[in-house]
Amino acid sequence: MKLLEGIQKEHDEVRGLFLQIENDEERAAEYFDQLAVLVLSHHEAEEQVVFEQLPGDKESKELKLELIAEHDNVRRVMQVVLDTDPEDDHWAARCKVVKEVFAHHIEEEENELFGTLREELSEADMDKLYKKFETAEGKAKPEMQKMVKAKMILKPEHVLPLSLKDALDGEKKPAPKKKPATKPAKASAKS
């Protein structure tokens, strides 16, 4: 199998798992755990093997950072589901949010990332890289299984983006006093 086919196949597997979650309430939480392990290992392998293949131009660098930021985001919304009791009505709604965030992410990969990699890599590269991708994913899986089982998939760096944390830490000034709200007088219809 070649790299992009392998990635596509896993995206489709995740799409399938979301359908199973929606159609089988009894086993939804079990499917979600499977999905979380697959998504986290897939993301790890992409970050280690795939994104590195992007060229060094500004646009590609920005794409890479955006895709990594989306991985972090998917991780955070999955953590919210893991923190929710599957019996709770919020569980399915929170799961739907993961589906939406993930759908946006894979759409971007299948359109933008795949397009750029097709231009950059030969067929032989694609073969070799798929093997590397599978190996990286296989290596990541046991740790991801452990984290999902423990229901804690966030590492400190995922809790809050560092830049945002710095901005918040640096904010020592008290919030400016709010001006009293002044509603503009309504213009009366009749004058």
Q: Which residues bind Fe ion (CB under 5 A)?
A: 46, 109
Residue type, 1: M
Residue 29: CB minimum distance to Fe ion, A: 23
* Of residues 109 and 137, the one with the C-beta less far from Fe ion: 109
Q: Which of 134, 130, 183 is nearest to 2 (CA)?
A: 130
* Of residues 45 and 91, the one with the C-beta less far from Fe ion: 45
Residue 109: CB minimum distance to Fe ion, A: 5
Distance from C-alpha of 44 to C-alpha of 133, rounded to nearest angstrom: 9
Residue 10: CB minimum distance to Fe ion, A: 7
* Of residues 86 and 141, the one with the C-beta less far from Fe ion: 141
* Of residues 46 and 137, the one with the C-beta less far from Fe ion: 46
Distance from C-alpha of 140 to C-alpha of 150, rounded to nearest angstrom: 16
| H or E stretch covering 148 | helix 123-149
Q: What is the DSSP string of 72-99?
A: HHHHHHHHHHHTS-TTSTHHHHHHHHHH
Residue 134: CB minimum distance to Fe ion, A: 14
Distance from C-alpha of 168 to C-alpha of 164, rounded to nearest angstrom: 6
